[in-house]
Amino acid sequence: MPLGPFTLVALYLTSWWIVLFMILPLGSSKQVETPPTDGSQWGAPANPQLKKKFITTTWVSAIVWVFIVLLVWQGWMPLPDFSRGPAL
């Protein structure tokens, strides 16, 4: 097996964060049209919908993770073999 459990978890967490930063700006409308009166920043989204975005991030990153794992296991994206020590 080319990927161990630690690598699989690290790969999923990395893809989760990357997908999160791609999904965060989607559907956000700034408060420029109606300036805030509660003291919040004018560039902050009026309704960030973070729960919905975290759920979307979780299933999208799971699809990305499965795609990357399949690429590695099928041999289309080979990983270097570090078990033999450094190459001289």
**pLDDT tens per residue, range 48-72:** 889 999 999 999 999 999 999 999 8
pLDDT digit string (tens) for 6-29?
Answer: 989 999 999 999 999 999 988 777
Q: Are 65 and 13 in contact (CB under 8 A)?
A: no
| Closest listed residue to residue 20, CA positions, set 48, 60, 66 | 60
Q: How many CB atoms lie within 10 A of CB 65?
A: 19
Runs of H (alpha helix) within the chain: 5-23, 50-74
Please say if the pLDDT value at position 1 is more than 70.
Answer: no
